Amino acid sequence: MLMLNEERVILMTRMASYEEDEGKTNVSIGSYFRGDYIGLQLIKSIISATLAFVLMVVLVVTYDIGSFMQDIYKLDLIQIGRTLLIAYLAVVGVYTLISYLVYSHRYNMAKKSLKCYYANLKQLSTLYEEK
């Protein structure tokens, strides 16, 4: 007849509560390699920055729709395209840089927080081996 090992249960409870609460995101971040995690987040950032840029352009155009429609034949489309491209690159560039900083910091923090968790995991496996 197997008996419950009290020490083991306490350790597992602590870990399970960490996993459920603050560790939830950390564990999922920790399952990535650094480059993979940051790369994935940067792709998401570029997509949302692009969407945001489109929305801003829509807002600017509708704000000035009257004069825009009047001058539509006189507009220098190449010049506008160039300005838009530069603005787009600037918005996406700045936003991506910020998200790179944020997510690399977040990854380091998660790894640090997970160190204790992994140590517990190791201790748990030794407890099981002792049995």
43 binds other proteins (CB under 8 A): no
| Of the residues 7, 9, 36, 105, which one makes contact with other proteins according to CB under 8 A | 9
Q: Is the CB of 98 or the CB of 116 nearer to other proteins?
A: 98
Gap between the Cα atoms of 128 and 45, Å rounded: 43
Contact map string, positions 75 to 104, toward other proteins, x by CB under 8 A: --------------------x---x--x--
35 binds other proteins (CB under 8 A): no
Gap between the Cα atoms of 118 and 38, Å rounded: 22
Q: Which residue has the tokens 């840089």?
A: 97
Gap between the Cα atoms of 31 and 110, Å rounded: 10
Which structure tokens are listed for 49?
A: 């920055």
| Of the residues 38, 49, 110, 114, which one makes contact with other proteins according to CB under 8 A | 49
